[in-house]
Amino acid sequence: MPVNVEHIEADLAVIGFGKGGKTLAATLGRQGRRVVMIEQSALMYGGTCINIGCVPTKSMVYRSEHLTPGGVYDDAYRSAVGATADLTTDLRAVNFAMLDNLDTVTVLTGHARFTDPHTLQVQTVDGATITVVAQSIVVGTGSRPVLPDIPGLASTPQVQTSTEMLSLPELPARLAVLGGGYVGLEFAAMYARYGSTVTVLERGSQILRREDADVSECLQDILRSSGIQIVTSAEVTSVSEVGPAAAVTYRAGGVEHTVEADAVLVALGREPVTDDLGLAEAGVETTSAGAIVVDEFLRSSQPHIFAVGDVNGGPQFTYISLDDYRVVLSQLTGDGSRSTATRTAVPYALFTTPPLARVGLTEGAAAAAGMDILVATLPVAAMATVPRARIVDETAGLMKVVVDASTDKILGAALLSYDSHEVINTVALAMRHGITATELRDTIYTHPSMTEAFNQLLGALAAPSSRSGA
């Protein structure tokens, strides 16, 4: 709705148009509450996910999977960038309208800063200064890529963050990826499918350092088979411009190496966006990493100020931000019983081809905790009862599950397989509701599907010491 006032009184003010904040704003707006949504950029209506995160990356991945591996697809890449931009533009408009069409909701585009615990001063993109006084305030300003203090990293023009890579107009012939985590590997796999020559430099001894070694090694083999060079135990020491390219210097095995690239993706983590919000003036505490300190109800050190999504230092997933909304809604209009303490079995997925999805404990974590466990690990290609993988010609990967030997409860699973991002939700649901491994093994699934893999996978459970090769 149009804004031509200098002072607004509201029941709720939300800083940041992300999943948790926008859903809360829409819900309370429909209830007749006076809500103000403040978003710094019109290019971010709807939040990180639809603009520079989940949606555009998966759009690019989806289009890359329709290409025959081994070719160079400059035209297809440019087409994918254009189609993805159209997609995000449409979603931005839908998200903006979702709030702007509500008479009780005012959307302000500009930068918000606390001047006291209940007051925000908003400098709009139109040059106006608007004061917003709200009974409750939700901060959902998200996170941004970290640029470590590596010589030349910040000043070399070929260096890109994940945000910038999504709108890179031309396919880089050579791509260097700094970081072998989820973001780095997703982009590495995607760009390799479009035809870039990709080198991944990972500081740790393995990619995906939080995963079991067998899972990490299996994905590494898949990526290398697609032409990606992966260097582990690689410490990047400098980045510099060499003509139209960048030179990345790193040490590995005690020897200095250099790789040249037309683009360098920095995928070395993300940090909460909390600078210049005036949190000190509001009396809101932050961690040393800049995250807003919250309790299990997402209340900050000021009980009427909440933090949702990446900015509170929790798991950086859109669906966690959505659950944050449920927690805050319970505080503002419900019985206050919902909290982050009740969350269990939160799954996540890496959209390589095939995707890797995981939930719960790894085998290593369960063993380190001294738990008596049973483990089953099967290569997808060896699972005769899972014809779906053969039908779609995607037999790479493995499936792994960890079970408590005494209770038959599922402790965790890692699925590196076709459709794993869907199948993992079945495991997570079973874990949340105490469904045993035996029940999951003996239930009836549609055929042919990837879910029916549990019939065979859970039938292969054995103690770690008795497994072949253990």
CB 375 within 8 A of CB 398: no
142 is in an annotated binding site: yes
256 marked as part of a ligand binding site: no
Q: Annotated binding residue at 179?
A: yes
Residue 355, exposed/middle/buried by CB under 10 A (0-12, 13-18, 19+)?
A: buried
| Alpha-carbon span 338 to 421, nearest angstrom | 26
385 in a labelled binding site:
no
Q: In this structure, what token pair is assigned to residue 414?
A: 């890692």
Q: Is 7 a catalytic residue?
A: no
Q: For residue 183, say whether it is annotated as part of any ligand binding site.
A: yes
Annotated binding residue 202: yes
65 marked ligand binding residue: no
204 is in an annotated binding site: no
How far is the C-alpha of 55 from the C-alpha of 281, rounded, in Å?
35
Distances (CA, A) of 384 to 166, 197, 222, 381, 448: 39, 35, 20, 8, 12
Q: Is residue 9 part of an annotated ligand binding site? A: no
Distance CA 175, CA 240 (A): 14
**Catalytic choice (7, 111, 304, 447):** 447
On whether 182 is known to bind a ligand per the annotation, the reply is yes
143 assigned ligand-binding residue: yes
127 is in an annotated binding site: no
> Is there a binding annotation on residue 346?
no
d(CA 383, CA 58): 28
Catalytic residues: 447
Mark the binding-site residues, compressed into ranges.
58, 141-143, 179-186, 202, 269, 310
- In the annotated binding site for NAD(+), the residues are 179-186, 202, 269
* Binding-site residue ranges for FAD: 58, 141-143, 310
